[in-house]
A and B are shown apart, each in its own frame.
Chain A
């Protein structure tokens, strides 16, 4: 799952040892209109960015903007933890960041369209205080300004 019971002991402990915020409730808003009419943006924590953008450093809590028109070939991943196999994303970026699949969904009118930008953060963060207090809200405001109506979050 990585079904945790299938992971090697060391990997399982490393994953479960990551600090996770415990919450009792969740903020919840309904989409403003049917998804087939909504503009969608992706926010990923896979450490993706355009080639030529500054790579993420481990633990970095900032973000990168990936215009939704970016050709898949121009996107690279600087989250290169050896805790996951990069062979899949080398073959096909859509396995982590389904940028081409979403364009197909727009063509098929399953979603209304794409917001002008997707946003990307580093993965495997232990300290998320700045992400929760600064960079996360900053991206949320930018998404609103972009006219994003629903957001899909994708991990590594």
Chain B
């Protein structure tokens, strides 16, 4: 859609397609279909050679004399052993003995996260909720109380962000901290490994399951939508 709009303004475009069926209908001017799961448009993280091969193939379409053009990436590469769709909370049973103290656990995670930042030039996907990272034990405490009572709030919540959206972003930020800390400890873990650990073995995972249930129990579609984004 955007490619068509931009091309209609006189600029040549080329696109990565992850869903061939949609691209065939939509007909962007030029598209390269790649055989990768969502979240992996250029193949595999930390594999610059594969990323360059995808880039070369998608830029090569710009030489086509006429269009629309839809080509397939010539190699049938999957990024490692990643499944085509992520593991969801509902597919992971909680372990028998999981800590109930998400606040203490979050403090431990934050200590590990400092090292993640040091090792990755400060790169993190944390930062959606507007609450600084050092206050996340407090955010974990809020989420725990919200799960139990449906009430509470966090001081410093951005004024223009409604509570359900804030809860969704706070959950996303909490997941980022846990995911990145886990990848620090287990650099070769797959996404499914990390999901199995988070939903199965952490207090935060259990809190987010209950936050999801609490949001989903609302009649308000905005709260239900936030629930869907927290856990499925």
B150 located at the interface, meaning its Cβ lies under 8 Å from any Cβ of chain A in the complex: no
B232 to chain A: which residues have CB within 8 Å? 82
**A116 smallest CB distance to B (angstroms):** 15
In contact, A153 and B3 (Cβ under 8 angstroms): yes
In contact, A96 and B28 (Cβ under 8 angstroms): no
In contact, B9 and A141 (Cβ under 8 angstroms): yes
- Which residue of chain B has the shortest Cβ distance to A3 in the bound complex? B35
1/0 contact string of B81-96 vs chain A (CB within 8 Å) = 0101110100000000
1/0 contact string of B3-18 vs chain A (CB within 8 Å) = 1111111111111111
Compute how far the CA of A10 lies from the CA of B21 in the bound complex, rounded to whole angstroms: 17
In contact, A152 and B14 (Cβ under 8 angstroms): yes
Compute how far the CA of A104 lies from the CA of B189 in the bound complex, rounded to whole angstroms: 28
A92 and B67 in contact, given A76-B126, A148-B11, A153-B15 (Cβ under 8 angstroms) = no
Compute how far the CA of A85 lies from the CA of B108 in the bound complex, rounded to whole angstroms: 24
1/0 contact string of A50-91 vs chain B (CB within 8 Å) = 011001011000000000000111001110111111111111
**A104 smallest CB distance to B (angstroms):** 8
A31 to chain B: which residues have CB within 8 Å? 12, 62
In contact, B41 and A95 (Cβ under 8 angstroms): yes
A102 to chain B: which residues have CB within 8 Å? 55
* Interface residue from A6, A43, A55, A153 paired with B128 (Cβ < 8 Å): A55
**A89 smallest CB distance to B (angstroms):** 6
A-facing residues in B1-58 (Cβ within 8 Å): 1-22, 25-29, 33-46, 48, 51-52, 55-56, 58
In contact, A7 and B84 (Cβ under 8 angstroms): yes
* Interface residue from A87, A105, A110, A139 paired with B194 (Cβ < 8 Å): A87
In contact, A136 and B5 (Cβ under 8 angstroms): yes
A55 to chain B: which residues have CB within 8 Å? 128, 169
- Which residue of chain B has the shortest Cβ distance to A51 in the bound complex? B127
- Which residue of chain B has the shortest Cβ distance to A55 in the bound complex? B128
- Count of interface residues, chain A, beta-carbon cutoff 8 Å: 84
Compute how far the CA of A3 lies from the CA of B6 in the bound complex, rounded to whole angstroms: 28
A-facing residues in B153-170 (Cβ within 8 Å): 165, 168-169
In contact, B127 and A156 (Cβ under 8 angstroms): no
In contact, B37 and A22 (Cβ under 8 angstroms): no
B138 located at the interface, meaning its Cβ lies under 8 Å from any Cβ of chain A in the complex: no
Q: Which of B12, B79, B190, B225 has the most CB of A within 10 A?
A: B12
A–B complex contacts, Cβ < 8 Å, 30 sampled: A1-B20, A22-B26, A23-B26, A26-B4, A26-B67, A29-B29, A52-B127, A58-B229, A76-B128, A80-B229, A83-B85, A86-B175, A87-B194, A88-B45, A90-B125, A90-B183, A95-B41, A98-B42, A111-B59, A128-B1, A137-B9, A143-B9, A149-B12, A151-B6, A151-B12, A151-B13, A153-B3, A153-B15, A155-B15, A155-B41
Q: List the 9 closest A-B pairs by CB distance, nearest first.
A: A92-B45, A87-B191, A84-B38, A140-B9, A85-B191, A84-B39, A26-B68, A73-B123, A91-B45
6 further contact pairs, Cβ within 8 A, besides A58-B229, A83-B86: A1-B18, A7-B85, A23-B4, A84-B86, A95-B41, A150-B14
